[in-house]
Structure 1
């Protein structure tokens, strides 16, 4: 129910984002990625390890990660080196690589999960034929982050999407390559995504000798 502008309670309502850290979520650093992998392995969370590795390598949005089907990753009893997924937001296909570590974990999970190539890789808790919800995915990411001692306010599912792309950008400064990997339709989106500023530009210039 709403409030009248004359209601005393209106002036007592707290802003929805008071005390919360909103906006862009931080990318994970390389050592944090391995810390989460170690934590998941230690707790024998095979599904979560496969979900984490897929999210890192694919650089997909959360809504796309949870909708991946087994046939999108595996064929002929092996996990593909590269996969192609149509993004929900843009309706455009994006290709991504799966590193050896991720392929091994995903294969182990698919063997454990069973089912057909048309089944979702990560099923829902309530309906095994449906995919995991984005809310459940977000809760899992929160658990992982807390598990290695990071503040959960600064991280989310988008942190996983940003992680590998951020590492690639820091190493190469190649925005065009990162744009392709993220499936952005415009380079402007990639610029805003990484918050490219004067400091970044100067660092790149200092590394370039003519």
Structure 2
């Protein structure tokens, strides 16, 4: 499988770490970055075909922003259809929570700069982990990938986003929401992970 996928576990604040994982063929490369320009430069050098981001990349219908003081707060809600539809698989926080508001604003800003060149997907690591049945994330992932012991939690979550991208490429994914408001992509629950990740790198 010769694909190039980047997973980005985006932080809400640029001073907090953003974990990035890049899959090319069978190899994973990792980085922890901070500023948007660092992230954009890193992505540009890798030139992926697909980027999967853990952050809301759109606003609820009827909203122009997520401020409670704006008149749009009376037209739009705290969730998009995508969050509501995927609740049977995993929980998500309201986009109007302070931390989520910051993450959403940053996710939208970053994705706008990427969409003209790459295919961009939104996904959710904790729900991916739940669907895949991983209890110990590091140990479970080493069944499929060679991982360094010093990999951090944000980079581990970025691996989950890469896995969601692989399921998407293999057309074995679930999609929630709609094109107008925004969608969230997750691995199809009924699929065998070993069949999808058929390039296991060690016995």
Which one has the largest radius of gyration?
1
More helix by share: 1
User: TM-score by structure 1 length?
Assistant: 0.29
With normalisation by structure 2, the TM-score equals: 0.29
- Structure number with the higher strand fraction is 2
